[in-house]
């Protein structure tokens, strides 16, 4: 499907049923590789080039090709990890990425999965993750999206990879059906990882026992595929044990017609400079 030219993607009744039952849905080939994905990969390729240039490092890469758009990135972060941070901050400003964020297809999916919704884009809730091999600091522990994003209780994450996600690259893990059990209280600091702050520092109450109570899956995916995740579904980053960074896009939508969001005025969480404990003290174990 070409997301930019197909404003009304319709999920089959079986897909809708599966999403509500499991709390996530994988849609292979949702986006058009040439129209939607390659321009974003090209933007990343260009930004890697600009960061190399800015730091006076040689650019020995070949011309852009979708399959190798991130060439040179491992060498760049080996030279200086902070250069990777520059790439990370820059790539969420690629015009093709922001165009895809606002595609009518995302709004239509939301309307199909949430009855009577007034769909909205979560400000600060979109980006491109770069999960580097062997890195722990930015790996997302088990979490629900809601405390990390707020906006509305019934929001959706649209997750889509820019590289083929193999088992070595640490696909996202999901607890099947966990959204049915509602919001889980959290600790706001992880004593095991004191350098994890903000949303990365939120740790679920009784994490280990809680997660063990569900069947888990870690779906593999390819560029163009879409994984839709309910804001209440428990999920976590896998561990990247490969040689390449795992590049993936996150688009988050919420609902202006959700009672919980209406109550707090659709506040955002950490990315909006809000301490989530002030909005939901009852969900915060150390408020
Ligand atoms: O890609 C990941 O490792 C985590 C993704 C995630 O937590 C999200 O998209 O909300
Ligand atoms: Fe998440």
Per-residue 3-state assignment (H helix, E strand, C coil) for 42-96:
HHHHHHHHHHHHHCCCCCCCCCCCHHHCCCCHHHHHHHCHHHHHHHHHHHCCCHH
What value does the mean pLDDT take over residues 206-217? 98
Predicted pLDDT of residue 9:
64
Tell me how far the alpha carbon of residue 53 lies from the centroid of ligand 1, in angstroms: 30
Tell me how far the alpha carbon of residue 139 lies from the centroid of ligand 1, in angstroms: 9
Q: pLDDT tens across 159-182, in order?
A: 999 999 999 999 999 999 999 999
Is the beta carbon of 146 within 6 A of some atom in ligand 1? no
Tell me how far the alpha carbon of residue 108 lies from the centroid of ligand 2, in angstroms: 21
Q: pLDDT tens across 78-119, in order?
A: 999 999 999 999 999 999 999 999 999 999 999 999 999 999
Tell me how far the alpha carbon of residue 234 lies from the centroid of ligand 1, in angstroms: 11
Predicted pLDDT of residue 192:
82
Closest among 186, 191, 169 to 247, alpha carbons compared: 169
Q: Which atom of ligand 1 is nearest to the CA of 250?
A: 9
Is the beta carbon of 251 within 6 A of some atom in ligand 1? no
Pairing of strands 127-131, 246-255: antiparallel
Is the beta carbon of 252 within 6 A of some atom in ligand 1? no
pTM score of the predicted model: 0.96
CA 167, 168, 169 angle in degrees (round to 5)?
A: 90
* CA nearest ligand 1 atom 3, residue: 237
Please tell me the CATH code under which domain 13-283 is placed.
2.60.120.620
Specify whether the CB–CB gap between 286 and 276 falls below 8 A: no
Is the beta carbon of 230 within 6 A of some atom in ligand 1? no
Q: Which atom of ligand 1 is nearest to the CA of 143?
A: 7
| pLDDT(120) > 60 | yes
What value does the mean pLDDT take over residues 4-14? 71
Binning pLDDT at 50, 70 and 90, where does residue 4 land? Answer: very low
Q: How many CB atoms lie within 10 A of CB 255?
A: 27
> For 198, left (φ over 0), alpha (ψ -120 to 50), or beta?
left
Q: Is the model more confident about 270 or about 257?
A: 257
| pLDDT(7) > 60 | no
Is the beta carbon of 162 within 6 A of some atom in ligand 1? no
| pLDDT(279) > 90 | yes
Tell me how far the alpha carbon of residue 219 lies from the centroid of ligand 1, in angstroms: 13
Dihedral sign computed on CA atoms, order 37, 38, 43, 44: positive
What value does the mean pLDDT take over residues 43-50? 98
Q: Phi first, then psi: what are they for 77, rounded to 5°?
A: -75, -25
Is the beta carbon of 129 within 6 A of some atom in ligand 1? yes
């Amino acid at each position: 499907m070409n997301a930019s030219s197909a404003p009304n993607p319709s999920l089959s009744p079986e897909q809708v049923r599966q999403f509500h039952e499991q709390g996530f849905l994988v849609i292979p080939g949702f986006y058009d590789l040439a129209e939607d994905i390659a321009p974003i990969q090209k933007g990343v390729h260009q930004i890697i080039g600009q960061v190399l240039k800015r730091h006076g490092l040689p650019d020995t890469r070949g011309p852009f090709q979708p399959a190798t758009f991130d060439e040179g990135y491992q060498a760049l972060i080996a030279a200086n990890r902070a250069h990777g941070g520059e790439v990370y901050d820059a790539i969420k400003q690629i015009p093709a990425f922001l165009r895809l964020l606002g595609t009518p297809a995302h709004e239509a999916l939301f309307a199909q999965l949430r009855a009577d919704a007034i769909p909205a884009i979560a400000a600060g809730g979109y980006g491109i993750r770069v999960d580097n091999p062997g890195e722990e600091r930015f790996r997302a522990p088990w979490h629900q999206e809601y405390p990390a994003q707020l906006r509305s209780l019934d929001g959706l994450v649209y997750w889509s990879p820019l590289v083929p996600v193999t088992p070595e690259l640490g696909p996202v893990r999901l607890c099947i059906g966990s959204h049915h059990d509602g919001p889980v209280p959290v600790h706001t600091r992880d004593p095991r990882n004191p350098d994890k702050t903000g949303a990365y520092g939120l740790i679920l109450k009784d994490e280990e026992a809680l997660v063990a109570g569900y069947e888990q899956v870690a779906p593999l995916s390819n560029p163009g595929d879409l994984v839709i995740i309910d804001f209440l579904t428990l999920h976590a980053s896998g561990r990247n044990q490969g040689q390449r960074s795992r590049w993936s896009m996150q688009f988050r939508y919420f609902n202006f017609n959700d009672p919980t969001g209406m109550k707090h005025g659709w506040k955002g969480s950490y990315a909006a400079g809000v301490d989530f404990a002030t909005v939901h003290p009852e969900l915060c174990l150390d408020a």
